[in-house]
Amino acid sequence: MNSTETKARRKSSSDASLQGEPRRKSGLLPFRKKTVVFGSWIWAFPSLAAVAVIHYYATYVGGSYAFTDFNGISDANWVGLDNFIRIGTDPQTMGAIGNTFFIAVIYFIGVNIIGLGLALALNRGLKTRYFLRVLMFLPVVLSSLAVSYIFKFIFDFEGPLNKVLMALGQEPKLWLGDTDTAIWTIIIVAVWQNAGLGMVIYLAGLATVPPELEESAAIDGAGVFQRFWHITLPMIQPAVAITTTLSLLTGLRIFDQVVAMTGGGPFGATDTMSTVIYRITFEYSDFGYGTALATVFAIVLAFAAALQLFITKDRSGK
């Protein structure tokens, strides 16, 4: 009797499936998936609306001034692409663009090399590595302006650095007033303060590298550089992508150090795109030209970020 009832139930279920009747999975409601998806959009809508209003709409309204001669007081008159054409013929702007890329490249190299070197040195082995990590990361949390003013005092003609040089029998130098050395002081301060951030990101990447792989490679006769190049570096590729992208964008946007230490001088030797945009827009009240510069600068930043992410993209297929 039991076997007969079982066969009948199987037959009825198969007949229902043939007739197109949907089966219901045990423990799941048929509308659960739809409800979750609908609910996720409901919760995300306030954030999306805030981003659209604060960022995109504000960018659209502000970007429209790039095609006008607006000076903050009188009515804005449409000038078309004149402000963008002016960028290529303005020697101050072109000099600032060259300084910006020079600072960004040197800053990019310095932060990544020093950050990775510190991470490798403080990864394992040292008993005081946790204290040293905190010590190396401490400059990152300090105010950029405060750090810059301290280094301005150090690099001053009558500051501690020149006093040390004179004690060693060397001639004092005008570090912040010389067109050849002023830009290097900006780079040194920026790299010193932010190398700790690169160290922390690289330490997070090194934590994912199994020590057994390095030990096995060492037993097989691989040297330190071979182990780093063929084992460590490929496994920390996500950390490399993050650090290189952040350092490139930060190098392009350096502002506080320039304003606090040199003000863009001497003779525009340390001017960057950020300082020129600020000066033209808020000191000269040329909002149209300043907005055009800011628009071009934003495009450059977006392109640099996209290019850097493409170069450091993981192509392993995982």
133 contact partners, CB below 8 Å, separation of at least 6: 122, 199, 200, 203
CA 163 to chain centre: 37
Query: What does the pLDDT read at residue 24?
Result: 47
Taking all residues of the chain, what is their mean pLDDT, rounded to a whole number?
A: 86
Quick one: average pLDDT of 230-235?
90
Alpha helices by DSSP H, listed for the chain, are 2-18, 32-51, 58-63, 82-89, 91-121, 129-141, 144-155, 160-167, 182-206, 211-219, 224-227, 233-235, 237-252, 256-261, 273-278, 287-311
Query: CA 263 → CA 61, 192, 260, 302, distances in Å?
Result: 30, 20, 6, 26
pTM over 0.85: no
Parse the chain into domains and list their residue ranges: 93-311
**Residue 7, pLDDT above cutoff 60:** no
**Residue range 93-311 in CATH 1.10.3720.10:** yes
**Residue 98, pLDDT above cutoff 50:** yes
Quick one: average pLDDT of 251-264?
94
Q: Comparing C-alpha atoms, which of 205, 206, 204, 179 is closest to residue 265?
A: 179
Please say whether the beta carbons of 253 and 245 come within 8 A: no
**Residue 162, pLDDT above cutoff 60:** yes
Query: What does the pLDDT read at residue 3?
Result: 52
* pLDDT classification of 18: cutoffs 50, 70, 90: very low
Q: CB 45: neighbour CB atoms within 10 A?
A: 10
Query: What does the pLDDT read at residue 17?
Result: 47
**Residue 83, pLDDT above cutoff 70:** yes
Q: Read off the tokens for 174.
A: 């005008």
Please say whether the beta carbons of 240 and 233 come within 8 A: yes
**Residue 34, pLDDT above cutoff 90:** no
Q: Comparing C-alpha atoms, which of 117, 109, 112, 190 is closest to residue 151?
A: 190
* pLDDT classification of 146: cutoffs 50, 70, 90: very high
**Residue 174, pLDDT above cutoff 90:** yes
Query: What does the pLDDT read at residue 75?
Result: 85
Residue 209 exposed, middle or buried by CB count within 10 Å (0-12, 13-18, 19+): middle
Query: What does the pLDDT read at residue 309?
Result: 81
Q: What is the DSSP string of 200-247?
A: HHHHHHHTTS-HHHHHHHHHTT--HHHHIIIIIHHHTHHHHHHHHHHH
Quick one: average pLDDT of 28-41?
53
By percentage, how much of the chain surpasses pLDDT 90? 64
* pLDDT classification of 36: cutoffs 50, 70, 90: very low
